[in-house]
Amino acid sequence: MSDEQPPVPQIARTRRVGPLEYRSIEGPLSAAVIGRVADLNEGLFGFGETATQLAGFFESRRRLLLCLALHNGDLVGFKVGFEAQPRTFESWRGGVHEEARRNGVARELMRMQHVWCQEEGFQVIKTTTSSDNVPMLIVNLQSGFEIVGSFVNRHKRLKILQEKWLVTSS
């Protein structure tokens, strides 16, 4: 066995709400976890992103936080973000399996992410959402995000920029 062991993912927090278990994991992430996220990510978005591609993307980010929702052990939701700049966190992507929606899963994943960001000293959380993604925009607004701008991306889609400023003690 080599001296260099793969880093063990650090589980920051676990929370149970009825049949749902929520976990937040600070990077680096294990291949098994990334594989499960890649499957759900593909089912939700269909972008053709492989687990290997996602792993490379996650490894290139600093201070990554992955929040997961499990129903009887099955992954039904995830939310992932990372440090974009010092004290600025970018909430990058998330989603909830169709059959698990409208149960507060996205709201709880976001709450976990925001608590962690606050505890870790981040000042602001930023996120970008397509203008036609009304459910995500609503969850963001309900969770304290404000709309701060918009742009048209290279696929000619209107994107909405949202920010949430966190109250810090320092």
Ligand X SMILES: CC(C)(COP(=O)(O)OP(=O)(O)OC[C@H]1O[C@@H](n2cnc3c(N)ncnc32)[C@H](O)[C@@H]1OP(=O)(O)O)[C@@H](O)C(=O)NCCC(=O)NCCS
The DSSP secondary structure of the chain, one letter per residue, reads --S-PPPPPEEEEEEEETTEEEEEEESSPPHHHHHHHHHHHHHHH-----HHHHHHHHHTSEEEEEEEEEETTEEEEEEEEEEEETTEEEEEEEEE-GGGTTSSHHHHHHHHHHHHHHHTT--EEEEEEETT-HHHHHHHHHTT-EEEEEEE-TTS-EEEEEEEEPP---
Contacting range for ligand X; rule: CB under 6 A; set: 17-25, 51-59, 136-144, 161-169:
136-144
Q: Answer yes or no whether residue 27 interacts with ligand X by CB under 6 A.
A: no
Contacting range for ligand X; rule: CB under 6 A; set: 3-11, 48-56, 103-111, 146-154:
103-111
Q: Answer yes or no whether residue 44 interacts with ligand X by CB under 6 A.
A: yes
Of 24 and 103, CB closest to ligand X: 103
Of 27 and 94, CB closest to ligand X: 94
Q: Answer yes or no whether residue 115 interacts with ligand X by CB under 6 A.
A: no
